[in-house]
């Protein structure tokens, strides 16, 4: 089988299992990325961490993941997910155990760094595998299925986790997740193969790490890629800033909700994630312009954050509705990733999509810090200031995105 062609029936069963384990590993990573709003407040209360340090604790996971995206892409294109993934996720297991025993701010910070670094490779590993085990025109659909299947991790990170912590505490939760992650890695090593037996490597596939690094320059110089990354910066940040950290404190500070009540609203946001993924994935094959899909979704996000920023007395049901819609709309990232994948040949998929993922993760960390800065500037109206700041960033990204990948028909890019 040549590069980019559909897999044969003889490998379809393994492709199915690879999809499942990829979804499980990505889902565990999502659990950690989105559990901050539930776990960080009780951890901070027990250990005695000042409120001004909460934004840094939340953001360090994302910043660590972002820093590793470029080396991740190089390693995945050179050595393949089967060898790279166990090493990384092993570090995340250590991070879980560090958190379970943490007694200080520094130990919590170290744990979050290990978790961010360990799970930084799971999405890109899946994308590299999907590029070789599934047809290129099915990429967005397969990615949306993975996002939907992995949402169990996101769901567990909201109300169920809040209830578990209220009942048993946060330390046992990290022990349980560490054990489950170890089992998932073991199964992954048994199941994952980097490509079908019939797959023919492209002659330009890097055979050394130096060749991978040199090829990265070609990715960064690709026409329109810089403008494309501007939209990547705001792809995950808006929703994850709420769901991964500040949604809980916002609902507590402004509406006086307890942990379980906050978890219920965050749970509704989490449920919207797989719904959005299953909506945007197939939409990619129906709407002729990926840019139109992205612009429409981001346009509604701008409206939602503007309403949040200009109104400080909205009823709770309106806040819940806006939060849920933002979580739903965030899933346009699937279309953005498909646009990136289609622009580059197979041997560049790891480096190109890891660059997109790096910028997206930086956006998450940046927006979490932005909310913290808003509260520092104005404790009374900090949330409103931050929501308007996010809306302004979304508008700016839309302007840059207009010039992304324009005029490159030789790449069969569906703009």
- pLDDT single digits (tens) 147-177: 888 888 878 887 788 889 888 988 999 999 9
Longest Cα–Cα distance of the chain, Å, equals: 62
Nearest-angstrom CA–CA distance, 163 and 154: 15
pLDDT, tens only, 222-231: 778 888 999 9
Nearest-angstrom CA–CA distance, 126 and 143: 8
Res 93 pLDDT > 90: yes
Angle separating helix axes 382-401 and 349-377, nearest 10 degrees: 150
Q: What is the pLDDT of residue 236?
A: 83
pLDDT, tens only, 354-375: 788 778 878 887 887 788 788 8
Partnered with residue 2 across adjacent β-strands are 200
* pLDDT-derived band at 414, boundaries 50, 70, 90: very low
Burial degree of 258 (CB within 10 A; 0-12, 13-18, 19+): exposed
The alpha-carbon radius of gyration of the chain (Å, integer) is 20
Q: What is the pLDDT of residue 5?
A: 42
Using alpha carbons only, give the angle 373, 269, 91 rounded to the nearest 5 degrees: 70
Res 243 pLDDT > 50: yes
Nearest-angstrom CA–CA distance, 315 and 305: 15
Nearest-angstrom CA–CA distance, 34 and 369: 15
Nearest-angstrom CA–CA distance, 307 and 315: 12
149 Cα distance to chain centroid: 14
Q: What is the pLDDT of residue 146?
A: 87
pLDDT, tens only, 326-350: 999 988 988 888 888 777 776 676 6
Select from 66, 73, 119, 57 the least CA-distant residue to 92: 119
- Using the Cα atoms of residue 297, residue 298, residue 303 and residue 305 in order, give the sign of their dihedral: positive
DSSP 3-state of 150? coil
151 Cα distance to chain centroid: 11
Res 6 pLDDT > 50: no
Are 414 and 336 a contacting pair, CB within 8 Å? no
Pairwise pLDDT comparison (294 vs 14), residue with the higher score: 294
Average pLDDT, the chain: 82
Burial degree of 53 (CB within 10 A; 0-12, 13-18, 19+): middle
- DSSP letters along 283-308, please? HTTTSS-HHHHHHHHHHHHHHHHHHH
Select from 275, 276, 265 the least CA-distant residue to 243: 265
């Amino acid at each position: 089988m040549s590069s980019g062609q559909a897999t044969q029936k003889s490998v379809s069963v393994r492709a199915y299992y690879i999809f499942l384990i990829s979804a499980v590993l990505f889902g565990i990573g999502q659990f950690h990325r989105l559990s901050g709003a539930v776990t960080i407040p009780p951890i901070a209360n027990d250990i005695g961490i000042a409120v001004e340090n909460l934004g840094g604790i939340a953001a360090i996971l994302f910043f660590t993941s972002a820093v590793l995206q470029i080396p991740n892409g190089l390693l995945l294109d050179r050595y393949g997910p089967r060898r790279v993934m166990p090493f990384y996720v092993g570090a995340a297991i250590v991070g879980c155990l560090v958190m379970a025993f943490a007694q200080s701010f520094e130990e919590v910070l170290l744990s979050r760094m290990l978790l961010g670094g360990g799970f930084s490779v799971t999405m890109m590993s899946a994308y590299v595998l999907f590029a070789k085990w599934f047809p290129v025109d099915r990429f967005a659909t397969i990615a949306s299925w993975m996002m939907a299947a992995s949402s169990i991790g996101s769901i567990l990170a909201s109300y169920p986790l809040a209830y578990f912590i209220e009942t048993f505490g946060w330390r046992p939760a990290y022990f349980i997740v560490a054990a489950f992650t170890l089992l998932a890695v073991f199964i992954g090593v048994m199941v994952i193969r980097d490509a079908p037996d019939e797959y023919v490597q492209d002659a330009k596939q890097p055979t050394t790490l130096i060749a991978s690094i040199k090829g990265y320059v070609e990715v960064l110089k690709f026409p329109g890629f810089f403008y494309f990354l501007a939209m990547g910066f705001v792809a995950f940040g808006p929703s994850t800033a709420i769901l991964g950290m500040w949604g809980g404190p916002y609902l507590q500070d402004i509406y006086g909700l307890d942990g379980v009540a906050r978890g219920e609203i965050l749970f509704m946001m989490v449920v919207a994630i797989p719904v959005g993924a299953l909506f945007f994935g197939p939409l990619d094959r129906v709407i002729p312009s990926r840019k139109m899909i992205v612009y429409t979704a981001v346009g509604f996000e701008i409206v939602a954050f503007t309403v949040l920023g200009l109104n400080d007395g909205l009823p709770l049901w309106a806040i819940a509705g806006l939060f849920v819609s933002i979580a739903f709309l965030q899933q346009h990232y699937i279309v953005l990733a498909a646009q990136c994948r289609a622009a580059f040949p197979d041997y560049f998929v790891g480096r190109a999509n890891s660059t997109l993922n790096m910028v997206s993760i930086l956006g998450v960390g940046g927006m979490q810090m932005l909310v913290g800065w808003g509260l520092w500037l104005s404790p009374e109206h900090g949330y409103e200031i931050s929501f308007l700041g996010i809306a302004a960033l979304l508008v700016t990204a839309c302007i840059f995105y207009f010039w992304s990948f324009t005029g490159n028909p030789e790449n069969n890019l569906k703009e």
